[in-house]
A and B are shown apart, each in its own frame.
Chain A
C-alpha cells in the first residue's frame, strides 16, 4: 500500500509546491503523461502523488482518503469543521500568502472598525429594510469572526469570484475576501477595516488524523518527513502516522 500525497493540480501553487519539496531534497515528479493527474517521488517507493483541486484537498484530508496534502490554511479553516481535531498542520510552506479581510467602500468615512460596521449594519437595516449584505466565499470563517466580534444585522451572500465587484454591482454592501497586494480592493474603491483581518493564509503541508497508515506506510511516512526535516506527529495512539 502507498502513502497518498495530495498536491494542487495546476498553476503557481503546484510549481511552488514542487520547488518547496525540491529545496528539501525531495523531487516530486508527475507521471509521464502530463495530462494524467498522478505522480510519484523520485527515489522513494510507496508514495503516490494525487493531483487535486486545491479546494478539494481539505475534504480529502478530513475524510482520510489522502495521508498528506498541500493546501492553503484558509481552506483548512473554512472547509473542515473542528479542523484542529481532524488534521495536523505539519509545516507552513512560506508561499501562497494571502489575507482574508473585511472590506467596505472607501467613501464610508464613518466605518473604520468592526464596531463601526456593526453600527452601520443596524442603521442600514433600519433605513433599507434588509440586512447589510457581505459577499464572500468563506462563509464559516467570516460568520465565526463576525459573531466573535459582536457584529449583527448583516447577511452573507455567496460570491465565488470577482467578489470585489459585488459592491459596485449592488449585490452586496461589503465584502470579505482574500487579498495579497490590495490592488484589486483599491481598483474597486474598497478599503480594509483596521481590525478586519480574519485570517493570514499561506500554503501548508497538512496530515490527516483519520487516515490510518499500515506499518509499512508509517515507515514510508517517517522517512519522508525525516527528509523534509519536519517533526514527527504527536497525535493519539492508533490514529498516529
Chain B
C-alpha cells in the first residue's frame, strides 16, 4: 500500500525520470543483485560496511545494488555508442550501521552522460539539467573539482612515489595530512624505517630477508627489494618545501563563489604553473555553465568538496543541499568519474559525468512546505 509520503516520492521519481528522458536520455535498468567482486575491487573493503552482501551457492558473493553507476557504465561499455545519455530509477540499498532511522532502501533517479568531445560542455549539461529539475526547491548548490587537487599534487616538486601516495589518499584527509607531514619533513622518520635504511646500506635486501626467516607468501623478495629501493630514494630526496606545503593547503582550503575561487587559484598558480591546465578546464566549464544560464557568480566552490566521498569522482563534483533541513541527506549529487571507467574498462577510458537525485528527500521537503 502506498502511504501519502510514498506516493509523493513515487510521483517525484516519475517526474525526474520523465525530465531526464525529455533531456535525451535512454531509459536503462540494472539488476538488483550485482556481482560483489567488481564492486569490491573498485571501492575496497569499505563498501562491505556500506552494502548488503549476500551469497549465492554457485556464483559466490553478490551485493544488493548500492548504486546504479557501475552497472550502467558496464552496460555502456558492452554496447554503447557515443555520445550516450542514460537515465534510470529504482531502489538502492545501503547499510546504516549507526543510524537506526536512516533509510536502508531508497529510490534513486539518475542521469549519466558519456561524451568525450567536450568535457566542459558535458559537465555543464549535467549540472544545468540537475539545477533545472530542482529549481523550485531553493537548494544550495556546492561544487568542487578533484582534478584541480590532483593537478596541485602533480605540481609538487618532489618524487613520483610521494605524489602517488598523496593522490591515493586524497579521499582520506587524516592519512593525507600524516603523509604530507612526513614528506614535508615535519614528522620524524619512524625508528623501524631508520634501522632498515641503515641495514640496507651495507647488506643486500635479499640477505636481510633471508636472515629474517623463511619466506612465505605471494609477495616476493623482489617486491620487498623494490619497496626498499623506493624507501632509500625517499630518504635521499629532500622534503617538500614549506612553501609548497602551504600552497597545497591554501588550495585545499579554498571556499568561495566560483569566479572568486578561480581568480584565487589563478593567483596561486603563479607559484605552481602545472596547475594552469586544470584551471583552464574549470574556466571552460564555468563559461559553458554561463552559456546554459547558470548563475556561476552565485555558485559555491569548495576545493575539498568530494574528498570525503568514496574514491569515485576525479573531476568536477557537485551536490545540492536543503540548507534549512539538516535532517535530510544530500538531495542530489554527482560528478565526473573518468578514472572509474578506466578501471572498469581495463585501461579503455570513457569520459563520463553524471549524478543521482533522492526523490524521497524531495518529497519530505515538499511535505514540510
- A140-160: which residues lie under 8 A (CB-CB) from chain B? 140, 143, 146-147, 149-150, 152-156
Bound-state Cα–Cα, A123 to B366, Å:
50
Name the residue on B nearest A122 (C-beta).
Answer: B168
Known A-B contacts A131-B44, A154-B45, A155-B44; the reply to A173 vs B217 at CB < 8 A is yes
> Are B215 and A107 in contact (CB-based, < 8 A)?
yes
> Are B224 and A110 in contact (CB-based, < 8 A)?
yes
> Are A105 and B219 in contact (CB-based, < 8 A)?
yes
How many B residues have CB within 8 A of the partner chain? 42
Determine how close the nearest CB of chain B comes to the CB of A136; give it in whole angstroms: 11
Determine how close the nearest CB of chain B comes to the CB of A30; give it in whole angstroms: 37
B40: chain A residues at CB < 8 Å are 131, 155
> Are A113 and B212 in contact (CB-based, < 8 A)?
no
Q: Is residue B56 within 8 Å, beta carbon to beta carbon, of the partner chain?
A: no
Q: Can you pick out 26 interface pairs between chain A and chain B where the beta carbons lie within 8 Å of each other?
A: A82-B98, A105-B216, A105-B219, A106-B214, A107-B209, A107-B212, A107-B214, A107-B224, A108-B224, A109-B196, A109-B199, A109-B212, A113-B190, A113-B192, A118-B175, A128-B218, A131-B44, A149-B175, A150-B172, A152-B172, A153-B44, A155-B45, A156-B48, A170-B217, A173-B217, A194-B192
> Are A167 and B217 in contact (CB-based, < 8 A)?
yes
Q: Is residue B193 within 8 Å, beta carbon to beta carbon, of the partner chain?
A: yes
A153: chain B residues at CB < 8 Å are 44, 168
Most buried by B among A82, A105, A167, A173: A105
> Are A109 and B45 in contact (CB-based, < 8 A)?
no
Q: Is residue B231 within 8 Å, beta carbon to beta carbon, of the partner chain?
A: yes
> Are B209 and A109 in contact (CB-based, < 8 A)?
yes
Q: Is residue B138 within 8 Å, beta carbon to beta carbon, of the partner chain?
A: no
Interface size class of A (residues with CB under 8 A): 35 or more
> Are A110 and B217 in contact (CB-based, < 8 A)?
no
A128: chain B residues at CB < 8 Å are 218-219
> Are B45 and A143 in contact (CB-based, < 8 A)?
yes
Instruction: Write the B12-51 contact mask toward A (1 if CB under 8 angstroms, else 0).
Output: 0000000000000000000000000000110011101100
Looking at the complex, which one of A127, A147, A172 makes contact with B223 (CB distance below 8 Å)?
A127
Known A-B contacts A122-B168, A152-B169, A155-B45; the reply to A107 vs B226 at CB < 8 A is no
Name the residue on B nearest A153 (C-beta).
Answer: B44
Bound-state Cα–Cα, A139 to B70, Å:
25
> Are B227 and A110 in contact (CB-based, < 8 A)?
yes
